[in-house]
Structure 1
Amino acid sequence: MHDPSISVSVQRTNKLGKKETVPSPISVVEYNKYMGGVDLFDQNMASYSLSWKSRRWWMKIFYYLVDACVVNSYLSYKTAITNCKKMTHLQFRSQLANELMKTYSSRKRPGALVICGKNKLKKLGGRTISVENVQRKANVGDHLPTQAKPRHCAYCSTKETVKRSKIVCRSCNAAPCLECFVPFHEA
């Protein structure tokens, strides 16, 4: 791209801390001028990385590509938004994760939900009702506990340690136990 015989004068700091003019090839000057983009990309990749050790080599490549897509989309977002307050990188990743997950819940089991009465959900076939983040965090004053039949705690119950709760939230119809009621609606 550049003729190797062409050199340009640039300012460098010598051992004594004083600036002096030295000749430098034009290719080195151009490289130093544009190298910041790769460094910025690497910095954003390292801040919230998805990768972890795996025996399957292709998983590392897959997670690198997912990370690269997220960072590139964040950088595109930053350049596209000009007139309003921009999200931070962490806020962008959190918003992206919420949008991708939407209503997905790993606790769903086969079964159907039936709307009965005044838009109340009824549990059928042992299915745990999942609650969207938007519904769980909206109008916090409407989330009041009521008593019902014991169900799995929506916040702390796992397959290994099953914890049951008689408390049910009126708004989102989830059953967090008494200790988990507030953290469930804040998380």
Structure 2
Amino acid sequence: MGGIDRADKAMTYYMVLHRCVKWWKKVFFYLLEVCFCNSLIIYKQQMHPKRVNAEKFRLDIAHGLLVGLESAPSRVGRPPRDPPCRLINCEHFIAINRQRTANGKPSKPDCIVCSNREKKCHQTQYICDKCLEPMCPYPCFKRYHTLLD
């Protein structure tokens, strides 16, 4: 009984049998187990402890390898888009358009929500105080600041 038999005996205590078709996976897990056993032997020789629990030693190695890693992102896929400023609560209020036309009359531009020059033209004297976009007070103002499209 030489060192090989003792090493095989030590490896069988914690060897995890993986049933798989790929031969290289079995070889990988066997080599990983050999590394664990060899590192335990070296640790015992260097530190001279009375007793070392092999299972605790394996967990310490695993925790040591994971210390520097950051946590993986919880979401997979495309990151969410930031919503436009008009959809965020940032003090949007209705105001009266103070601009004047060339002859001095109050300016009434087309509403950006409900007006369409081809079908229907709806002019308004109200604007959003923050966006400076002309729109009807109801329902266009609410629709513009809550709906994405």
Shared fold (TM-score, shorter chain, > 0.5)? no
TM-score normalised by L of structure 1: 0.36
Q: Which is higher, the Rg of structure 1 or of structure 2? A: 2
Higher relative contact order (CA 8 A, sep 6+): 2
